[in-house]
Structure 1
Amino acid sequence: MPERLLIKNGFVITMDPLLGDVLGDVLIEGDRVAAVGANLTAEGATEIDARGKIVIPGLLDTHMHSWQAPLRGAYAHGWGNADYYENVFNLRESFTAKDMYDATFAAGVEMIDAGVTTVLNFCHNTMSPEHADESIRAHRDNGQRALFAMGMLGSFDELSVDHQWRLDKVRSLHAELGGDPSSLLRLGMAVSSMEFRPIEQVEAEVALARELGLRMTFHQNTGGQIRELHRLGLLGGDLLPAHANVAADDELELLADCGGGISFTPEGEFVGGRSMTVIGRALKAGATPSLGVDTAARTKVDIFGQMRITFTIMRYLQAQEEREADRWPLVRRPGAPQVEPRKMLEFATVNAAQHVGLGDQLGRLAPGYLADLVIVDPGPYGMALGDPANHVVLRTAPADVDTVVIGGVVRKQDGRLTDLDAGDAGAAIQRVRTRVLGEEHPAMPPHLRKVPAA
């Protein structure tokens, strides 16, 4: 059960516009923040000393395929989508329900260890009802706050047969999980990719999700899809496009008009050769961006890294525009630069909370909000000069995560997980590799490697 907890003497980045930054304390009662301020006292509360450390809201990942945790590195050398489908996605039908449990459990443990308190698990490997059940059981067991987005994309050779049971499964899962927004585990829907499914199936999925009040997300990889969803009356702020690199400016404006945004997965998209301009264009259009890792097959499970590379990409692209407009050397002017590091923290907290349907309950450290937070230890060299948010975004790695609290429960303290074991997660990953790949060695088997010979 959550305990009464008092975080003392930290530099608190609340991400709340009324509270701002506070050199002081955070009081947690039950699963909620009770107070933020200086010199707080709470009789009987467990105290955690955050002196010299930075306290931030828990980080959220809004686009993660948790089932791919055991395939870490399988797409590290990838060159375009063909490598992904050949080396990663084609393995999904080899995953049993047991593999889904182990993979999802391990992914959650690693994310908690890295300060990611909430995940939108885009589970496009629900090849049977049991696959979904075991993924949900894993989320329950690792205790990460999760929006389990049930994947509606089934076998490519069974377009209609496997669609109805998925719709039925969503109904039954909704009845099982309920709709309490404060619950650690909530149900969502990963809508079928429009390029692979008839639009009638997509319409049926969106209708069901809205009937049940579920958040939705989808892979937006082909031009014009947002415009088409708008034309059909399906676009809404409850439907989150992932990637959206090819979205046109008018589509981003349509998203903004309905209070929507995009989930940007910068590291995977950048090295995968996709256009990076969408993140700046989305922000300019008023479509809120959030961030995701996407897949451990390509990228380290690290939202700090995603914030850092997003900042670098956005600054580089804007500087390039300035040069091309003959505004050189760079000088500050209205709109230039477009972002500071703190904006990245907003992407990974405030915006992300909105994208998982908890914008009024998560993503800030303020009274009444869910008590998810992370304490960052700057280490022996101390906090960087200037805005402490700069230190979080530009100088922090998962190894610097000192403490993690989820729903008022301390899940990591003094740099060590409290009720989970990283070794158990590693063993789960190895079990999946042994069953799926038939290989006991911890490295990816040679037959999956596509690295060209030297």
Structure 2
Amino acid sequence: MKTLLSGGTVVTMDPAIGDLARGDLLIENGVIAAVAEHIDAPDADIIDAADRIVMPGFIDNHRHTWQTAFRGAGSDWTFPQWAAAMHGTVKPHYTPEDVYTGTLLGRLEALHSGVTTLLDWYHVAQTHAHEDAAVAALNDAPARSVFCLGAGWGTDQAVDDDIRRVRSHLAAGGRTDMALGMRGPDATSIETVARELKLAQELGLRISLHIEASGTIAQLHEHGLLHETITAVHANGIGDEELRMLADAGASISISPDVELKMGFGAPMTGQALAAGLRPTLSIDDVPSAGGDVFSTMRTAFAQQRGLDGSLRSRDLLEFTTIDAAASLGLASRTGSLTPGKSADVILLRTDDLTIFPVTDPAGSIVSAGHPGLVDTVLAAGRVVKRNGSLVGVDLPALRTRLLASRDRVAAAAGVPLDGTWQPQP
């Protein structure tokens, strides 16, 4: 099967190919076959990309998708309030069905806004049925996902068997892969950290690790536990020495600028990470507190760092959310740029919309003025999953009804209001 995206402004994110003011992209059997100014493929299905930017799909490497039902409820919360609300108050009332519905609609929301690869950081941490419901939801969404199992999150229990169980259900290299949401030495013993890291390496799992205090990275370094497969999440306020430890280990960092600034984590580490030799990546974190699209996340990170030292350029932000994010997930050979041989994870952004027209500098326009309403078409592994601004083959009215029922039931069981007055007490 062949598909030709014809006549678009092609932003490849591949420095060897560059950008094409007018170009074609040929897809064969879900893989990018060629990128050029003109491709003759008379036997291909044609998608007219005129008045469109053709670029790699965005990659979000840290999102707690199960919380989708409470979108916007935490826009005024601090981090302790969020923890009290989502983990202390509503999480105990989540059934597997609630996890499934929130995860599926959250994954589809991300896809709708151009996220073709998403790491779902799961920390509902109740039963195997809850885990299986999250995996089922990701499998039912027509795009690449990584189920990041926060096994034992918030506890000190042994979770080796649980990790093995979930891994056995997910075939490596499939549409839904697995990562480990590892506990750090601030949450469990260093011996447990070492054992879980060894298990992750044995099973071929990437690791995502929330860093909430200085000293955690140094402690991992001291015990020889820093590894290139680790992505440090947030890490606000850590010193340059610890950032260099991450860089020297080949590790990565995921920054959630909207949540970090609003919830009181401290300044995002974008500039410091770059200075230490790290390529930052960007993530949403959670939608009770922040918007779920990468455009706004890029804009926050860009404005915050430019306001400090003027160091970033628009293309840096596109790299953070495509090729750099792909590398953090171990997927750089499969996605993140429009390179022949990679999966055809592609989005088409409208350039004739009045909110972005005229497009003089594509990268600058995407970062400074981009928004989900521009996402006209999305292809995941060559399959068209959004066309003319609408998801394909998705019964959104039925899903909306299910999600509202889930939210209302959980809120009633937890005894929390849904009228904008909910102020959790840490």
The two structures have a TM-score, normalised by structure 2, of: 0.94
Give the drift of 1:444: 5.3
Q: Kindly tell me: are residues 422 and 193 of structure 1, through their superposed partners in 2, closer, same or farther at Cα, counting changes over 3 Å?
A: farther
- Which residue in the other structure is 1:176 paired with? 169
Alignment of 1:306-321 (within 5 A): 306-318=297-309
Q: Which runs of 5+ in 2 are unaligned?
A: none
- Which residue in the other structure is 2:16 paired with? 18
Give the drift of 1:126: 2.7
Give the drift of 1:193: 4.3
Match of 1:88, SS?
Answer: helix
d(CA) in 2 for partners of 1:380, 1:65 = 31
Letter paired with 1:423: P
Please say which of residues 166-175 and 267-276 is displaced more in the overlay: 166-175
Give the drift of 1:172: 2.4
- Which residue in the other structure is 1:131 paired with? 130
- Which residue in the other structure is 1:379 paired with? 352
Structure 1 residues 290-314: Cα deviation after superposition (integer angstroms, max 9, x where no partner): 1111001101111011011111011
- Which residue in the other structure is 1:349 paired with? 322
| 1:370 and 2:343 matched | yes
Letter paired with 2:164: R
2:367 to 355, 379, 393: 393
Alignment of 1:30-109 (within 5 A): 30-79=29-78, 81-90=79-88, 91-109=90-108
Alignment of 1:413-428 (within 5 A): 413-428=387-402
d(CA) in 2 for partners of 1:134, 1:402 = 30
Checking the alignment, whether the CA contact within 8 Å between 1:260 and 1:288 is kept in structure 2 is no
- Which residue in the other structure is 2:210 paired with? 219
Checking the alignment, whether the CA contact within 8 Å between 1:153 and 1:193 is kept in structure 2 is no
Structure 1 residues 221-251: Cα deviation after superposition (integer angstroms, max 9, x where no partner): 1111111111111111101111011221011
Checking the alignment, whether the CA contact within 8 Å between 2:81 and 2:424 is kept in structure 1 is no
Letter paired with 2:361: D
Structure 1 residues 21-66: Cα deviation after superposition (integer angstroms, max 9, x where no partner): 0121111111210000122122321111111111110001111001
d(CA) in 1 for partners of 2:422, 2:189 = 34
d(CA) in 1 for partners of 2:417, 2:4 = 44
| 1:339 and 2:332 matched | no
Checking the alignment, whether the CA contact within 8 Å between 1:218 and 1:241 is kept in structure 2 is yes
Aligned residues: 420
Checking the alignment, whether the CA contact within 8 Å between 1:76 and 1:297 is kept in structure 2 is yes
d(CA) in 1 for partners of 2:401, 2:313 = 40
Q: Kindly tell me: are residues 396 and 425 of structure 1, through their superposed partners in 2, closer, same or farther at Cα, counting changes over 3 Å?
A: farther
d(CA) in 1 for partners of 2:400, 2:185 = 35
Letter paired with 2:197: V
Letter paired with 1:84: W
d(CA) in 2 for partners of 1:124, 1:76 = 20
Give the drift of 1:123: 0.4
Q: Kindly tell me: are residues 37 and 447 of structure 1, through their superposed partners in 2, closer, same or farther at Cα, counting changes over 3 Å?
A: closer
Give the drift of 1:145: 0.9
- Which residue in the other structure is 2:250 paired with? 259
| 1:186 and 2:177 matched | yes
Give the drift of 1:96: 1.3
Give the drift of 1:252: 0.9
d(CA) in 1 for partners of 2:208, 2:358 = 37
d(CA) in 2 for partners of 1:301, 1:385 = 24
Give the drift of 1:446: 4.8
Match of 1:357, SS?
Answer: coil
Q: Kindly tell me: are residues 267 and 12 of structure 1, through their superposed partners in 2, closer, same or farther at Cα, counting changes over 3 Å?
A: same
Checking the alignment, whether the CA contact within 8 Å between 1:142 and 1:420 is kept in structure 2 is no
Alignment RMSD: 1.9
Letter paired with 1:211: E
Letter paired with 1:406: A
- Which residue in the other structure is 1:432 paired with? 406
d(CA) in 2 for partners of 1:371, 1:447 = 42
Q: Kindly tell me: are residues 451 and 201 of structure 1, through their superposed partners in 2, closer, same or farther at Cα, counting changes over 3 Å?
A: closer
d(CA) in 2 for partners of 1:277, 1:141 = 34
d(CA) in 2 for partners of 1:279, 1:447 = 32
Checking the alignment, whether the CA contact within 8 Å between 1:73 and 1:444 is kept in structure 2 is no
The two structures have a TM-score, normalised by structure 1, of: 0.89
d(CA) in 2 for partners of 1:429, 1:105 = 10
Alignment of 1:296-307 (within 5 A): 296-307=287-298
Give the drift of 1:278: 1.6
Structure 1 residues 341-360: Cα deviation after superposition (integer angstroms, max 9, x where no partner): 11100000011000111012
Letter paired with 1:189: L
- Which residue in the other structure is 2:385 paired with? 411
Give the drift of 1:114: 0.6
Structure 1 residues 298-339: Cα deviation after superposition (integer angstroms, max 9, x where no partner): 011110110111110110011xxxxxxxxxxxxxxxxxx421
Give the drift of 1:288: 1.4
Checking the alignment, whether the CA contact within 8 Å between 1:25 and 1:40 is kept in structure 2 is yes
d(CA) in 2 for partners of 1:346, 1:304 = 13
Checking the alignment, whether the CA contact within 8 Å between 1:206 and 1:234 is kept in structure 2 is yes
Give the drift of 1:187: 0.9
Q: Kindly tell me: are residues 267 and 353 of structure 1, through their superposed partners in 2, closer, same or farther at Cα, counting changes over 3 Å?
A: same
- Which residue in the other structure is 2:235 paired with? 244
Checking the alignment, whether the CA contact within 8 Å between 2:352 and 2:358 is kept in structure 1 is no
d(CA) in 2 for partners of 1:48, 1:185 = 27
Match of 2:321, SS?
Answer: helix
- Which residue in the other structure is 1:141 paired with? 140
d(CA) in 2 for partners of 1:396, 1:375 = 12
Q: Kindly tell me: are residues 444 and 29 of structure 1, through their superposed partners in 2, closer, same or farther at Cα, counting changes over 3 Å?
A: farther
d(CA) in 2 for partners of 1:147, 1:339 = 29
